[in-house]
Structure 1
Amino acid sequence: MLAAQRQELILERIRSTGAVRVADLVESLAVSDMTVRRDLDALEARGALRKVHGGAVARARTEEPGFAAKSALQGDEKRAIARAVAGLVPPHAAVGLSGGTTTALVAEHLVDTPGLTVVTNSLPVAEVFHRAARPDRTVALTGGFRTPSDALVGPLALASIRGLNLDLLVLGVHGMQERAGFTTPNLLEAETDRALVEAAGTLVVAADHSKWGTVGISTIVHLDRCDVLVTDDGLAPRAREVLGERVGRLVLAGARAPQTEKEDPA
């Protein structure tokens, strides 16, 4: 096996579980201890992981790309996810939409849903509903400090959210991983997102397949808090297995009709 192949297998294991042990890699890859350590050195030099005693762990991300930069990534997948998520929102619901490029696309699919009450800390989401104003809809935008992802966070945002009761929250995330759950690189955004989650009866996470294995510095919620995860059909088989076991329902959106991996719990 070539070094590049070994290193990709190591990264896939870290994306899935968050950590690897040298001894386990020696056994599973059938190579020497020294070879594994050289692979870990190379991956650490690339910023792909962080070495620890006896192994390596996923590197927590603290950088936060801007909204425009993220909008250019996985466009087809995000649009498919947005269509599937919008189908989960019934008329006359009280719905929360967090910050994120995918949630902004969800908003575009909800503009004709009658009677919605929308709570959001996302400036782009609020702008979508503002451009398509309708008399039977109420939109509440929280206050707060603006993040690079054009979300409003901090004490003013928290004060706006606490005490609310939402039927459903559509949550955008920076990363998802078996150990860390759903994460973000922004500490204040994580706090605001957690308040939105606490206010919601049903949690729908909208995240394309590229988010799997990415670990932001702050966990919003763990996988088993998610009632419905809507992602795309580019999700790797191992990720499908893990998420199918941990979230309430896994929906894969793509060119075909959305696929349900696990039905709603009885």
Structure 2
Amino acid sequence: MAKGRRRGIVGGVALLVVALVGAGLWHYLLRPDDPTHDSAVADAAKKVDQVQATFVADHLYQADKYVHAAGQYPDVAVLTVTGDTHWGTGVTLVLRVAGHGVEIGADGSVIDESDEAICFRLRLGPRDDRRDDDIECPPDDPIQVAEDPSLYEVDERLKSALATVGPDEAAVRAAIDGLKLDPAIRTEVTAQNGRVGVALRAAQYDCLLARVTGNGAELWRPARIQLAPGELSCDTRTSLSGYFGKGLR
């Protein structure tokens, strides 16, 4: 083979390697078939699907809101973020996600299993959203994200606490204090025209409203879409208004 032709082939291979490295695909060629790893990627990808579904359901578009929402998932860490808004600069996140991989044999037995950290790149806007799965994880430490408080399983406790207090603001406040809720939960109590309204809010879409009258206490959780920006407020104005207890408008 002529030297010129060999140089051409070697040069072409080198260019292919550079292209693959640039595209983040080279490690796929170097890594042999690994069913356990592939299973871990699939498991982690389901968690990223949930994160992206939250982005859509919560109508997010700002970089800090994306980071905060993703950071609420226990198996998800945000490593990097660039950009400001979806429709402006676009926002790019790199997530590190815990994935559990299992290799199952032909007889259904477990051949191998392991927990792995799998990284994903989410490109959000400015025109289209794209996602790269199983990329090389950057060395960055996770961005610290404050965990939202939760109203999980508070409904029955609140209902029981308010069952016998009547429309007395001081008694309602004392009953709520007795629940020893997370101090990060915003609590609002307002008396009006012989009724007492209660609003508990843990996060944008975690809201519990109550209305106490002479006939007892009623509780209501507005639907997620009703709590979207520009819709109902999680406050006592809503708990004392005609919107209380209503379905989607």
Give your verdict on TM over 0.5: no
Higher strand share: 2
> Please, what TM-score do these two structures have when normalized by structure 1?
0.23
> Please, what TM-score do these two structures have when normalized by structure 2?
0.24
Larger relative contact order, structure 1 or 2 (CA cutoff 8 Å, min sep 6): 1
